[in-house]
Amino acid sequence: MGVIKLGDPYVALESQTLPDGKSTFSFGCPSTCTETHFEEEEVTVFSHLLHMHENGQRMLTRQYRTDSDGNEVLLHTADVEYYSFLQAGAHVVSVNDSTTIKKGDVFTTECFYDTSYSSVDSSNVTFGLGSENEMCIDYVLYYPDQRLPNGGACGLLACDGSILSYSELEEDSDFNRTFGVVDTCTSSANGEEGDESSSSSRATLHLLGLFAVFTTAALVLEAVIV
């Protein structure tokens, strides 16, 4: 088994202050890394471990591959829309057996933060090793191991990687989440698409209702047992 560490694998941004409030940082792993250092033409990915700290809100890694026409095509996205550091400090994204990395593949890793969640002064949150600091690392688990240099790191200051961009954000909507977001422009009056959306919403509400019933029943049963 091998590990590729994307994003800011060395925490090279250590001691740099994050913007007060909401922000996003994006890092790149270029095609030259896998093209140069992969021994195999293709390896199989089985998991991503997305890691930030207490201010982390969303994190995603996009994998691109050049097609026969020379176009860079989005191949795979590992994403957690609602990140929680309380979940053992990492979010595991399992992938199917068809997810592979080939020589020349490109990766971008993006982390979203909100320092209002900080346990320290929100205007003085820095990147670093402590839980009150921040990180942005995606551990990609794959096989067979390709014995990449620098412990498999490809990102800021590693294997020709770099920081692509960073910016301050204004609203939660700038996290670009889709789960739990209602499309107010769609209604049943808009034809089949509206009907389908409405049916989907009703189904979701029904499932949430069932979940609430089972949760309440479990709590009652626990109280009786205790």
How does pLDDT run across 124-146, given as a tens digit for each residue?
999 999 999 999 999 999 999 99
What is the average pLDDT across 7-25? 97
User: What's the mean pLDDT in 100-108?
Assistant: 97
Alpha carbons 123 and 217: distance in angstroms, whole number:
43
Q: What is the pLDDT of residue 76?
A: 94
Q: Is 156 exposed, middle or buried (0-12, 13-18, 19+ CB in 10 A)?
A: buried
Using the structure block, give the residue that is written with the tokens 């020589």: 103
Q: Tell me, what's the pLDDT at 182?
A: 61
The per-residue pLDDT for range 63-73, each reduced to its tens digit, is 999 998 989 99
Sign (positive or negative) of CA dihedral 43, 47, 49, 50 = positive
User: Over the stretch 198-208, which tens digit does the pLDDT of each residue have?
Assistant: 333 344 444 44
Question: What would the mean pLDDT of 141-155 be, rounded to a whole number?
Answer: 93
The structural domains of the chain, with segments of one domain joined by +, span 2-175, 188-225
Lowest average pLDDT, out of 60-64, 76-80, 96-100, 145-149, goes to 96-100
pTM: 0.79
- What confidence tens digit (pLDDT) does each residue in 28-59 have? 999 999 999 999 999 999 999 999 999 999 99
State the CATH class of domain 2-175.
Answer: mainly beta
Structure confidence at residue 10 as a pLDDT band (50, 70, 90): very high
- Look at residue 23 and tell me whether its pLDDT is greater than 70: yes
Token pair 């940082």: residue: 25
- What is the number of other CB atoms lying within 10 angstroms of the CB of residue 63? 23
